[in-house]
Structure 1
Amino acid sequence: MTGGESFRVDFHVKVLDERVVQRAKARGLDAIVYAPHFTRLSEVRQQADRFSDDDLLVIPGREVFTGDWSNRRHVLAFGLDDPVPDFITLADALAEFDRQDAAVLAPHPEFLNVSFDAEDLSAHRDRIDAVEAYNPKHWAHHNRRARELATEFDLPTFTSSYAHLRGSVGEAWTEFEESFDSASDLVSALKEGVSRRIVHRSGWGHKLRCAAEFAHLGWENSYEKIDRLFLSGTEPTHPNHIAYDDRFESVY
Structure 2
Amino acid sequence: MLTYMRKKSVSVDRIGNNTLAVHGVLDDDIYSLELDLTIGLENLNILDFTGRWNRWTTHECPRALMFLKEAVGLKIEEPGFSDTVHRVVGRKACRHFANLLLECCEAAREAALILKWEESKKKEGDKKFEDFVCREQEKKRFAEAISPSAVKTENNEAHPCKIQRTAHGKTGLFIVDLHIHTHPASPCSSVSIEKVVRKAKAIGLDAICLTDHNYLWERKAVEAVKESYDFLILRGNEITTDQGDVLVFGLEKNIRGIIRIEELRDEVLRAGGAMVAAHPFRGFLTFGVGQLGLTPQQAMERPIFRYIDAVEVLNGKVTDRENSFASDVASGIGLPGTGGSDAHEEGEIGIFATGLLQPIQDERDLIEAIRNGQLGPVDLRKER
Question: TM > 0.5 between the two?
Answer: yes
Pair 1:50 & 2:224 matched: yes
Looking at CA atoms only, which structure, 1 or 2, has the larger radius of gyration?
A: 2
Report the counterpart of residue 255 of structure 2 in structure 1.
84
Report the counterpart of residue 353 of structure 2 in structure 1.
173
Distance 1:75 1:84 in 2: 12
Larger deviation, residues 165-174 vs 4-13: 4-13
Match of 2:234 among 59, 64, 71: 59
Pair 1:96 & 2:267 matched: yes
Superposed displacement of residue 146, structure 1: 0.9
Check whether the contact 1:34–1:48 (CA below 8 A) recurs between aligned residues: no
Percent pairwise identity: 30
Match of 2:193 among 14, 17, 30: 17
Report the counterpart of residue 108 of structure 2 in structure 1.
none
Check whether the contact 1:35–1:44 (CA below 8 A) recurs between aligned residues: no
Check whether the contact 1:131–1:146 (CA below 8 A) recurs between aligned residues: yes
Distance 1:152 1:94 in 2: 22
Report the counterpart of residue 369 of structure 2 in structure 1.
189
Superposed displacement of residue 121, structure 1: 6.1
Match of 1:26 among 202, 212, 221: 202
1:1-252 aligned at under 5 Å gives the runs 5-15=172-182, 16-39=192-215, 41=216, 43-53=217-227, 55-67=230-242, 73-112=244-283, 123-125=303-305, 127-202=307-382
Pair 138,197 (structure 1): closer, same or farther in 2 beyond 3 Å: closer
Distance 1:155 1:192 in 2: 10
Structure 2 stretches of 5 or more lacking a match? 1-170, 183-191, 285-295
Deviation readout 1:134-192 (Å, 9 max, x if unpaired)? 11211121111111111111110000010011221111111112111111111111111
Deviation readout 1:80-123 (Å, 9 max, x if unpaired)? 2333333121211121111111121011012137xxx9657654
Greater than 6 Å deviation, 4+ residue runs: none
Pair 121,29 (structure 1): closer, same or farther in 2 beyond 3 Å: farther
Check whether the contact 2:180–2:210 (CA below 8 A) recurs between aligned residues: yes
Distance 2:255 2:214 in 1: 11
Superposed displacement of residue 35, structure 1: 1.5
Pair 49,194 (structure 1): closer, same or farther in 2 beyond 3 Å: same
Distance 2:176 2:259 in 1: 28
Pair 112,46 (structure 1): closer, same or farther in 2 beyond 3 Å: farther
Distance 2:206 2:301 in 1: 29
Deviation readout 1:205-241 (Å, 9 max, x if unpaired)? x8xxxxxxxxxxxxxxxxxxxxxxxxxxxxxxxxxxx
Check whether the contact 2:179–2:210 (CA below 8 A) recurs between aligned residues: yes
The one-letter code matched in structure 2 to 1:30 is D
Distance 1:86 1:28 in 2: 35
The one-letter code matched in structure 2 to 1:12 is H
Q: How many residues align?
A: 193
Pair 182,159 (structure 1): closer, same or farther in 2 beyond 3 Å: same
Relative to the length of structure 1, the TM-score reads: 0.68
Check whether the contact 1:44–1:61 (CA below 8 A) recurs between aligned residues: no
Distance 1:61 1:180 in 2: 15
Distance 1:197 1:87 in 2: 28
Which secondary structure state, in structure 2, belongs to the residue aligned with residue 52 of structure 1? helix
Pair 21,90 (structure 1): closer, same or farther in 2 beyond 3 Å: same
The one-letter code matched in structure 1 to 2:256 is P
Check whether the contact 2:261–2:304 (CA below 8 A) recurs between aligned residues: no
Check whether the contact 2:261–2:307 (CA below 8 A) recurs between aligned residues: no
Structure 1 stretches of 5 or more lacking a match? 207-252
